[in-house]
Structure 1
Amino acid sequence: MQPTLFITGATSGFGAACARRFAQAGWSLIISGRREDRLQELADELSGQTEVLPLVLDVRDRAAMETAIANLPEQFSSLRGLINNAGLALGTEPAQVCDLDQWDTMVDTNIKGLLYSTRLLLPRLITHGAGAGIVNLGSIAGNWPYPGSHVYGATKAFVRQFSLNLRCDLQGTGVRVTNLEPGLCESEFSLVRFGGDQARYDATYGGASPIQPEDIAETIFWILNQPAHININSLELMPVSQAWNNFAIHRE
């Protein structure tokens, strides 16, 4: 039987790249996202390679998530992998002038949405047992502070600790958990954060040789295809062009 993978936030960036990479290897896919047109386009693209179930879902909607997962078709009921990719950053303004609605959206998506998908799919992963795995998309922002990261970085710090705590609860089940922590990556994610400012997006990545969505997909494919007795607890990666700046000092 083909292994089955559930991907949240599959309509662009990392999620779409992961869907393509795992489809190439013959994994059955459950792909979810909010944008029906993009989701269907991706499903149509990959349906010639593997079985694909598109689910138009917002991970923030707990009731919708519960209903969709409870009613998965039989051929998709046995789950080997979950990629918790749905997430976003909004704004780069200092905390004292930020938009509280943006904070709500980041918390609801990056934390609560991840919690819903994880809890609702864990019984299926546990039933699969050895070789099953969860990959949570964290960020270097969960490990290292920088101006304007406030709530976004805090949500990713939550993802990191939640991933470690899951490992404790799942000991003995065979289910693996990884927190993947990318640095500078070029994707629609940043265009959303910059409010659609294409010039700012271009300036951010120009000449930097940033990580690409396909790089992340290849990394996740490697993680989920490790021998069943190996767990990659966390993995932080940056482009070679990126490093840590010296600690800033404000002087009068």
Structure 2
Amino acid sequence: MVKNGEKHTENKAVKKILITQPKPEGEKSPYFDLARKYDIELHFHPFIIVEGIPAKEFRKQKIDIPNYTAVIFTSRNAIDHFFRICEEMKISISQDTKYFCITEAVALYLQKFILYRKRKVFYGADGSNKSLFDVINKHKENEKFLYPTSESFDSEITNWLKSHHCEYATPVLYRIISNDIKEVIARNFDVICFFTPGGVKSLLENFPKYKQNGTKIGAFGANTFKAAEDAGLTLDIKAPQPQAPSMVSALELFLASLRKK
């Protein structure tokens, strides 16, 4: 198939890529453009199920959200469930609230819920906890932090807040449950892309003796890199990077490099 005057170049090394997230809605996702350009099969299957904690259960944590002046977000799930709880409990968030996000992509997702103001929204330079801490450090005076999490949260963040004498709370707003992926993995993909440590955990829970056997692994975010490496996986594709801010752009660089070989 030829589109817009471009001819497809055959890519023999990679034919099937598994994205461990739900399929994008509509037809305008850059993932679909990538599939057409490189003539590859893209499959979408979430490795985790996110289950929101109901407001009744949240109240038992005795965290008064309006008392806090800043929120730390490390995922879109955290954003979704933070604003869900606020809506369920009819809590209005002050326009002066500051938001500290692990990546620019997470920060931009806030536009779904708030009037996005750059002076109130901050994000790390490279998706690492260190770059997030650098940003928080510049603005932490007189702030009281909320770090919305799942039941298994990143203790490196809470340890940093504690060691820097920050006042903080970690409201648990959702649970991450491993999805059944046995039939999916059996299809033998050339590339599997992970977006959360929970996705890596799901792989190991479904396949405790998983062997990579030449499958290329992609990961998004420093915490996912660490989870994959701790699981003994070799990472071939990493995002965000300066030249690849998204998983789509990282895949594009990877596929383009295969064409040159």
Indicate the TM-score class for this superposition, using the shorter chain for normalisation: 0.3 to 0.5
TM-score by length of 2: 0.32
User: Of Structure 1 and Structure 2, which has the larger fraction of its residues in strand?
Assistant: 2
User: Of Structure 1 and Structure 2, which has the larger fraction of its residues in helix?
Assistant: 1
TM-score by length of 1: 0.33
